[in-house]
Amino acid sequence: MGFRPRRLGKGSELSDRKEIPDRLQYVGKPLPLDEAVSKAKGEIRFLTDRVWEEALYLKLVLSEVPHGRVVEIDTREAELPGLVNIYSFLNTPRTQFNSQKWFVGQKGIEDQQIFSQTVRFVGDPVAAVAARDKQTAIEAAKKIRIKYESLPFVIDPEEALQNKVIIHSPSPAAVLNFECGDAASREKAFSEAFAVREDRVETPKIHHAALENHAFLAVPEANGRVTVYSPCQIVYAVRMTVAQVLGLPLHKIRVIKAPVGGAFGGKQEVTFEPLCAFVALHTRKPVRLELDRRETMLATRTRTKTIGYVRTAVNQEGKITAREVRLLVDTGAYMSNGAVISAAMGRKLFRLYRIPDQQYRAEVVHTNTPIAGAARGYGSPQIHAITEINLDHAARLLKIDPVEFRLQNLIHSYDSDPAGGPPLGNARILDCVRKGAAEFGWQGKWQQPPDAGRWRRGIGMACGTHGNGYYGAYQDFTTMTLRMAEDGSLILQACLHDLGQGVETMMKQIVAEVMSVPPAAITIPVADTDTSPYDIGCQASRVTFVCGACALKVAESLREFFIAEVANLLGCGPEEIMLKDGAVWAKGQPQEKRRYGEMAALLQQKRQIEFIRTLTYHSPANPGSYAANFAEVAVDTYTGLVRILEIVAVHDVGKAINPGFVEGQIHGGIQMGLGMALTEDLPFDQKTGAPKVEGLRKYHLINAPDMPPIRIFLIEKGEEHGPFGAKSVGELAAVPIVPAVVNAVNHALGTSLTTLPLTPERILSALNQG
């Protein structure tokens, strides 16, 4: 009576699972977010809303120099009433760690510590003040005087590659290579190519701009334990790093996920949890740290700045015969995820087009700028911006329609990964492009003559791909426990990290569909390292595909167990048991229908059993999710301002568990991608190393009035190992929109702009040069 998936042959589509009715009751329905009303009413309290008796307040002191050695910390003026202590490298652990590591045994360069005597960027934490109230902490922090021995610094990653300034070790700090084909055949393809297009494409350092700034709370417990509350994406990674830095066993650290007011990868890595835990244990007082916007922008994480050098060879028929991509990755002052994200970008590069000979080489460099870390798409927005802009330029060189050019070269369903990664699965990027072009009216718009007035219209499109977890690269498993309470309600014990995207609601929909109960009858406790089964967190677009599959299977297991026990009680075969809407009965005996709770309580008394199942699920695949975006823009040639007129977004999602959530993710991803393409940047002064932007006043986000009409279409052809055929969308949503908009601007103006964002200054400069 379980829900068993059919295996798919090539070219097949995933139909509804065997024994599931054609009309699913909960899956595929746009149910509202569970906590939407509670958040609107202010009933859900974020960390900054919580009042914790006797809590000390921490305030950071950040470096005001880009590179220097601390020679004196003068705290005399900071000795205010209410001050408890001042922390720096002088009195905190000096343990080195890597903030992006997410599982025990993972390798990575460990070059950070809570505080370092050598600061490496403006915003590097130098000290922290602990005080009995927030205002005292702020005032005391202002009065601390730091003396530095100035050291040479470098802001430009291309200059850093020349080893003019050494921050940690000679550049590059890491080098990664991936390829398919071989050097000889690749060089032959370039020499015999009908056309070769080369580009240098630069993507910016970006702030995540979550509504909630970073906040932390640490509470000392009995027996030397400490509990850390963090709006994080991986509670087990926080526990691991805090334990490492403090030199404590894992069982001495408890981490509880707090409600999250936006993350987008910015709360994936460990930042100030070790500091808070240390101060809490040192003072034996609860400790809270609330960052302001400047501190969040400078002292947490940013999107990785990249510079890509691309060379693409095409034949006369428009087939790509070879491509070389060299990437310069600016990881900022510390390694963090510099090497890992470079590998991720390389793997994604090979999973979109059928290119027989391709080479990817990434060089990771340090600059005296804030640390680059995880950000929505984990490198996909950068690598696809770089390559999709180059492909549009190649199409222009060939005088071929960019849509037709891509259709000739895109991968097909069930292609193999030419670089040796996991199979691509039921990849439907061709469907995305064809559907998008038709809905957008691409052919008619493409054939229109160019504008000649002040306002120039243009269209652009681009493709993108992203993964569904870590299978093929790192460990990827999760464990869940599902229990039926005596009243028939269900408790799903899982280590889920809802960041506002509706993870818990979606998991309830999956379990509800299998168990035939309303989602409101299911509870999912918050992620807690003391009580939640292990999971590696909300990252890598793995939650729907991996965690969702685990929720499905543990529900199937409980359903089968429940049916078997009911059949035994009623003296019939399991195949005769019917479950619907929280009621159970034997086929042909509807008059004996009982609610789940009544039956569970009866069986508990008679059989002395608990209806509970625990299951560990290992992901068996990592297919690609795919999308194509189409954009129409109007560019004001007097001011350089760009107005987005329309966007069509088509996404291959396998199956939308909750279509409303999927569309919400796409809208949000497009907003972020528009910022990356047109307005968002964290620049630093090359002469002083100082940030040019330290708050949202000069950080130009795409706001609601700037958002264009967006039409969304979903390709739902199913993915074999996904729950009900589903696969990821959240990170992919921010990927193809970036190059689609850049390509549209270049089409409107006849330019070849490749440095992002396309600010009015850059657009006007290109027009003046033209």
Q: Which residues touch 206 (CB under 8 Å, ≥6 apart)?
A: 302, 303, 375, 675, 676, 680, 681, 682
Beta strands across the sheet bearing 583-586: 577-580, 583-586, 594-595
Q: Which residues touch 568 (CB under 8 Å, ≥6 apart)?
A: none
Q: What are phi and psi of 580, to 5 degrees?
A: -160, 130
Beta strands across the sheet bearing 125-131: 83-87, 125-131, 56-62, 287-290, 215-220, 226-230, 253-257
Distance CA 275, CA 186 (A): 51
Cα distances (angstroms) measured from residue 631 to each of 273, 737, 743: 41, 8, 9
Contact 515, 558 (CB under 8 A): yes
Q: Which residues touch 703 (CB under 8 Å, ≥6 apart)?
A: none
**Strand 226-230 with 125-131, pairing:** unpaired
**pTM summary value:** 0.96
Exposed e or buried b per residue across 672-686, where buried means at least 16 C-beta atoms within 10 angstroms of its C-beta:
bbbbbbbbbbbebee
Domains and CATH numbers, the chain: 47-151+214-290 (3.90.1170.50), 305-468+621-769 (3.30.365.10), 475-618 (3.30.365.10)
pLDDT in tens, 572-630: 999 999 999 999 999 988 888 999 999 999 999 999 999 999 999 999 999 999 999 99
Exposed e or buried b per residue across 555-589, where buried means at least 16 C-beta atoms within 10 angstroms of its C-beta:
bbbbbebbbebbbeebeeeeebbbbeebbbbbeee
pLDDT at 164: 84
Contact 584, 599 (CB under 8 A): yes
Burial class (CB in 10 A: 0-12, 13-18, 19+), 631: buried
Q: Which residues touch 455 (CB under 8 Å, ≥6 apart)?
A: 634, 635, 636, 637
Q: ∠ CA(297), CA(302), CA(303), 5° rounding? A: 145
* Of 262, 753, 220, 286, the residue nearest 538 (C-alpha): 262
Distance CA 179, CA 419 (A): 6
Q: Which residues touch 677 (CB under 8 Å, ≥6 apart)?
A: 385, 737, 738, 739, 741, 742, 756, 757, 758
Contact 686, 289 (CB under 8 A): no
Q: What is the DSSP letter of 703?
A: -
> How many Å from the N-terminal Cα to the C-terminal Cα in the chain?
69
Contact 67, 150 (CB under 8 A): yes
Please give the helix or strand (H or E) that residue 230 lies within, else none: strand 226-230
Distance CA 244, CA 238 (A): 10
Distance CA 339, CA 360 (A): 14
pLDDT at 22: 55
Exposed e or buried b per residue across 227-256, where buried means at least 16 C-beta atoms within 10 angstroms of its C-beta:
bbbbbbbbbbbbbbbbbbbbebeeebbbbb
Distance CA 216, CA 232 (A): 9
Contact 719, 508 (CB under 8 A): no
β-strand partners of 330: 305, 365
Cα 731–chain centre separation: 5
Cα distances (angstroms) measured from residue 127 to each of 333, 406, 446, 623: 18, 53, 57, 45
Alpha helices in 410-484 (DSSP H): 429-440, 442-446
Burial class (CB in 10 A: 0-12, 13-18, 19+), 72: exposed
Distance CA 56, CA 285 (A): 7
Q: Which residues touch 32 (CB under 8 Å, ≥6 apart)?
A: 505, 660
* Of 264, 275, 167, the residue nearest 211 (C-alpha): 264
Please give the helix or strand (H or E) that residue 197 lies within, else none: strand 195-203
Q: Which residues touch 243 (CB under 8 Å, ≥6 apart)?
A: 249, 250, 252, 253
Contact 130, 283 (CB under 8 A): yes
Question: Tokens 């005001």 sit at which residue?
Answer: 64
* Of 254, 250, 240, 226, the residue nearest 528 (C-alpha): 254
Peptide bond into 760 cis (omega under 30): no
β-strand partners of 57: 131, 288
Beta strands across the sheet bearing 455-466: 455-466, 625-636, 642-652, 710-715
Low-confidence residues of the chain, pLDDT below 50?
Answer: 1-21
At 103, list the tokens: 């599982």
pLDDT at 163: 87
